[in-house]
Amino acid sequence: MTSRWKKVWADFWGSKGRTILTILTIAVGVLAVGFNNNMRLFMVESMDGDFLSSNPSEAMVYAYPMDENSVKIARQVAGVDAVEGKSIIAANIVMEGRDEIRIQFTAIENPNTLTVNTLKPALGETGIAVPGEKEVLIDSSAASLGFKVGDTITVELDNGKIRKLRLAGYLHSATGYPYNLTRQVTAYVTLDTIVWLGGDRSFNALAVSVSEKQTDTDHVTEVAQAVADRIERSGATVDFVYINQPGHHYAYTTAQAMFLILGVLGWLTVLLSGVLIVNTITALMSQQTRQIGIMKAVGGRGTQIFGMYVVLIFFFGLGALAISVPLANNAAKTIGDGMAAWLNFFPAEYHGYRSTLVQQLIVALAVPLLAAWIPMYDSVRVTVREALTDYGIKGAVKRKEKKVSRAALLIPRPMRLSLRNAFRRKARLALTLFTLVLAGAIFISIYNLWASFDQVIHDIQGYFLADINIGFNRGYRLERVSSAALSVPGVSGVEGWLEYPGTIVSENKDEAGRQIMFVAPPSNSTLIDPIISAGRWLTTGDENAIVVGNQIQSIFPGLKIGGTMKIKINGRETEWHIVGFYTIVGNPDVPLAYVNYEYISRIIGQPGIVYALRVITTEHDSATQNRVNDQLQALLESRGIHVTDARLGADFVRDQTAQTDIFVYFMLVMAAMIAIVGGLGLMGTMSINVLERTREIGILRATGASNFDIQSIVIVEGLVVGLISWMISIVVSIPITNILAYGVGISMLQAPMPVVYGTTGIVAWLLFTIVLATVASSLPAQRASRLTVKDTLAYE
């Protein structure tokens, strides 16, 4: 190795502090990109791999009654690949000391011979036990309930009967919903057992798999609706058609939204890291100016010297790769495995991803080189004379006419020194501020996004204001159920609601209609607070008035206020006047349309009959809700009214929050990474500033400055920079919050989320900034205070 390459190596290896700082700066960006990309690829590969290997159905058609003949009819519909009839019923698991847990049973003869929505052995198992009489198999996502194979599971049927089943084993249903997200256990029993559980040998659902365009929602909907039409014509009553992200794992869209956010944050981290690299390399080159001058003086050409620094930066990049590649792989695998367990899919074998490595190579090698190109070029272009004379304290400083204002003199002199130092290298300050501001703005925006999620939940809650929502197995007279409910202590009011399926009639007679669900609160309901985007809400006396949501609007964009819709109910075509549009984020299984209870109950011939009861309690805390719910259910059961579903308002909020919090945690991790980049940036800047001012520090020392004085000057400078960045980041967070709320809303909830500007993020970032600035400045400050007068004044 020639001596110039030895110099490169010495620059790399000799200044370990600087090298580590530079490598870390690059490594953060490489890690962010690597982790995000690996996570995305690993999760998509795992999710889709697991999901598609189960030969998933793209649609479920819920209708009753159906038999093998219905399955045959469905199979004949154009575009259908496979159909399997299902007999499904739901009940509640009764566990001592716990709330009832919903369990959904699907009848199967042999879990190993399914052709659609196939089942797999649970993780670590080699096979699935075939359930016998009164035995049940449950999805392994419900293993957290603590049941062991052989245990008896007690369930209460919707008719109030108690049944005991033996747990035959766990299995993995890649196409089912996991317990931890839905609070519903997916279970499988034999046909005989389902009959014993109150079910029916006839089917009540068809799992439909289409032959092509499995991921095309429109195509799948068209085929599924055609199946529904044929089934209806064959004599069955279609409840609804359920299609959710056909061809993909149910968490696909959610995961994509998450990857989008993480990806954006990841590349922002790269941008920040790039800015930091510019700062670091500029400082490095500034430190090297004299050496460049010497090398030129002894015969080094610009291209030779430039090449040396290219190689040095290449080394930094390699260092960053060495840290970040394994870290990104391990983090993606570990967190990906955790996500797999959480979202109920089998993780694929983790093998790393070439495309990630390519991106990491680009970020580690090309980005620093690009970032460093101009500083390197400028430094290498410096003439020997400039290099050897224009370093450190400059000789020829422009005269400044400005005087220090009297007001400024009120600031303590060391503080003035800090303030002046902060603004001395304006380009460097600008780059540092850019990093910190962007980091801060993203940090604050993430907190705002968190608040937006809360707002969304709050908004959704507006549609579910009741403290307790109770569903019945059939329609009951309102007077009967309400008088029962009102007799329970703690109940202050009740409303009887109706939910009823309908089919929007397409203008094209050959086209299948679109399933919707009427939700009918009483016209004077106080338990709904909708977000009306246009028109008005329902009023007392409205007859065929309908308020449709953004989901229906997106399917039928031609709908207008004052317009009409034809909806088939029980095979009869009815006409509805659109009086308003409501907005709800999220994607319900079936689009909901609100109508007055009084009117629709007449239309369906069940006036005064309710299928659901919305209960208001005197106190709205979780304990009261639980207590009243227990008493209410007991009373209703005692009066022969069978409750199929009871959900507390508090549970609803908890479940919703659990789903959004995971995003926020991920984003906070990214925000922390960005904050680390910001901290590194500030530390780098402060280190460089201290280095450049070594001689000045010597002068301060010589004039009597103590360790504390020197450290204070440096730390206050860091704090000044941090606080300036904090103030600017508040402003910059506004557009970023808007973009995030829109992007995340559209990709995750199919509607823009409300924008919330909270103070939590601002305060948190302020505290973080103060800590960050203090910590980032402390090391350089300590270094500065260790310098002796002799060292500093001899510094060249």
Partner 1 sequence: MALSQKSNGASSDGHLMIDLRDVHKYYKTAVDDFHALNNVDLQIHAGEFVSIIGKSGSGKSTLLNMITGIDRPSSGEVFVNGMAVHELNENKMARWRGRNLGIVFQFFQLLPMISVIENIMLPMDFCRMYSMREREKRALELLEIVELSDHAYKLPTALSGGQQQRVAIARALANDPPVVIADEPTGNLDSKTAESVFALFNDQVAKGKTIIIVTHDSGLAKRTHRTALIADGEIVNEYVARAMPTLTREQLLQATHDAVAKNYAAGSMIIAEGTDADAFYIVTKGTVEVVLPRPNQSDVIAVQLGPGKYFGEMEFFHEKKHRASIRASEHTPVEVLAIGYDRLSELLNQSEVTRDALHQFADLHEAENIRKRGGLS
Q: State the residues that interact with partner 1 by CB under 8 A.
A: 2-4, 6-7, 10-11, 14-15, 290-291, 293-304, 381, 383-385, 388, 396-399, 796
**Least Å from the CB of residue 9 to partner 1:** 9
d(CA 493, CA 692): 74
The DSSP 8-state label assigned to residue 110 in this structure reads -
Taking the least distance from each CB to partner 1, the nearer of 301 and 654 is 301
Q: Which amino acid is at 516?
A: I
Taking the least distance from each CB to partner 1, the nearer of 164 and 301 is 301
HSE of 156, CA atoms in CB hemisphere, 13 A: 17
d(CA 357, CA 364): 10
**Least Å from the CB of residue 297 to partner 1:** 5
Taking the least distance from each CB to partner 1, the nearer of 8 and 255 is 8
Taking the least distance from each CB to partner 1, the nearer of 2 and 405 is 2
**Least Å from the CB of residue 14 to partner 1:** 5
Q: How many Cβ atoms from other residues are within 10 Å of residue 271's Cβ?
A: 17
**Least Å from the CB of residue 718 to partner 1:** 28
Question: How many whole angstroms from its chain centre is CA 94?
Answer: 33
Taking the least distance from each CB to partner 1, the nearer of 201 and 301 is 301
Please check whether residue 678 is in contact with residue 468, taking contact to mean a CB–CB distance below 8 angstroms: no
- Give the H or E element holding residue 26: helix 16-52
**Least Å from the CB of residue 390 to partner 1:** 12
β-pair type (162-172, 135-139): parallel
Q: Which amino acid is at 610?
A: V
Q: What are phi and psi of 91, to 5 degrees?
A: -150, -175
The DSSP 8-state label assigned to residue 407 in this structure reads T
Taking the least distance from each CB to partner 1, the nearer of 7 and 647 is 7
Distances (CA, A) of 462 to 294, 546, 660: 73, 18, 18
**Least Å from the CB of residue 794 to partner 1:** 10
Taking the least distance from each CB to partner 1, the nearer of 294 and 672 is 294
With 0-12 / 13-18 / 19 or more C-beta atoms within 10 angstroms meaning exposed / middle / buried, residue 139 is buried
**Least Å from the CB of residue 11 to partner 1:** 6
d(CA 788, CA 87): 85
**Least Å from the CB of residue 284 to partner 1:** 13
d(CA 94, CA 166): 14
**Least Å from the CB of residue 23 to partner 1:** 18
β-pair type (120-121, 545-549): unpaired
d(CA 689, CA 687): 5
Please check whether residue 105 is in contact with residue 88, taking contact to mean a CB–CB distance below 8 angstroms: yes
HSE of 113, CA atoms in CB hemisphere, 13 A: 7
| Residue in the block written with tokens 């997200």 | 181
**Least Å from the CB of residue 685 to partner 1:** 23
Taking the least distance from each CB to partner 1, the nearer of 291 and 550 is 291
Taking the least distance from each CB to partner 1, the nearer of 387 and 648 is 387
Please check whether residue 5 is in contact with residue 311, taking contact to mean a CB–CB distance below 8 angstroms: yes
Q: What is the CA radius of gyration of the chain?
A: 34
**Least Å from the CB of residue 792 to partner 1:** 16
Q: How many Cβ atoms from other residues are within 10 Å of residue 561's Cβ?
A: 14
Taking the least distance from each CB to partner 1, the nearer of 293 and 722 is 293
- Locate 197 and state its tokens: 């559980």
**Least Å from the CB of residue 758 to partner 1:** 50
With 0-12 / 13-18 / 19 or more C-beta atoms within 10 angstroms meaning exposed / middle / buried, residue 662 is middle
Taking the least distance from each CB to partner 1, the nearer of 400 and 406 is 400
Taking the least distance from each CB to partner 1, the nearer of 397 and 410 is 397
β-pair type (514-520, 592-595): parallel
